[in-house]
Amino acid sequence: MKDLTPIVKQLDVIIEDRTVPRNIRAAVEEAKKEITEKSDDSWDIRLSSAISTLDEIINDPNMPMYTRTQIWNIVSMLEAVKRDL
């Protein structure tokens, strides 16, 4: 399993950014929870769930452009981890 630390750090940056709308931070926090908390689900399911959560908010019109770029980057990293499983 690839180290998820860089992904979690990027998620934390968005969660702590007060210029990002609350609903977007909440969704990012949910995605972080999917990949960090203990679960009976397989890694494949957990990663897919995190990717899906982020995909749902990617087109939010209130999202700052730099945050959208950060989320695209995180989704790419999660997909790479999923591919390597």
Give 63-84 pLDDT, tens digit per residue: 999 999 999 999 999 999 999 9
Give 37-58 pLDDT, tens digit per residue: 988 889 999 999 999 999 999 9
pLDDT for residue 2 is more than 80? no
The whole-number pLDDT of residue 58 equals 95
The whole-number pLDDT of residue 1 equals 59
CB 13 within 8 A of CB 64: no
SS (H, E, C) 50-85: HHHHHHHHCCCCCCCHHHHHHHHHHHHHHHHHHHCC
> Could you tell me the CATH number of the domain that includes residue 49?
1.20.1440.50
Give the range of the structural domain holding residue 45, as residue numbers without chain letter. 5-83
Dist CA 32 CA 52 (whole Å): 12
Sign of CA dihedral 61, 64, 66, 72: negative
Dist CA 15 CA 11 (whole Å): 6
CB 39 within 8 A of CB 46: yes
